[in-house]
Amino acid sequence: MTLKSTRIDLPEAHRAQVSALLNDVAITLTDLYVQTKLAHWNVRGPHFIAYHELFDAVASHVQDALDSIAERAVTLGSTGGSPVGEVAEKSPLEPWPITDRQDHRVIRLLSDRLAVAANQIRVVITKTADLDADSSDLFTEISRQLDKDLWFLEAHQE
């Protein structure tokens, strides 16, 4: 990948490595966002309204994180995000079972996927720490929010 020039004083090799990691996470977060909205729209059961509202809040957090991640990649001279076909091909998340709508199942399925994303980001924090402190800090901020959202989802399962 050819990077655009920038006055950011990180070595181009570091910018390329970090941009690749940013876009890997963007793939995961794009898929997580869509899956969270599918959960939001389709959940049914006695906990419908609580889950419907919770999933919408989680989707908003994921969307904000995705926007920050993609914009950081562009800031470093790369491109941000990936086409939907690439997201479908490369996402580490299991596909969303659209016909599984029962509230207690949906919250467990969403928790599983959120955990994959949160754990991926925790690995990336370490990988970027010595390459770009700002990107590592961004990943840390996003990690805190995803962990909190995961806590909220898991609290409903006890």
The CATH architecture that domain 12-155 belongs to is Up-down Bundle (1.20)
Give the pLDDT band (50/70/90) at residue 158.
confident
List CB contacts of 54: < 8 A, sequence separation 6 or more: 152, 153, 156
3-class SS at 94?
Answer: coil
Provide the whole-model pTM.
0.97
Residue 44 pairs with which residues in a beta bridge? Answer: 102
Residue ranges of the domains in the chain? 12-155
Average pLDDT over all residues of the chain = 97
3-class SS at 6?
Answer: coil
Q: What are phi and psi of 44, to 5 degrees?
A: -140, 155
Q: What percent of the chain has pLDDT over 70?
A: 99
Query: Among 79, 94, 101, which residue's Cα sits nearest to residue 34?
Result: 94
Residue 72 identity (one-letter amino acid)? R
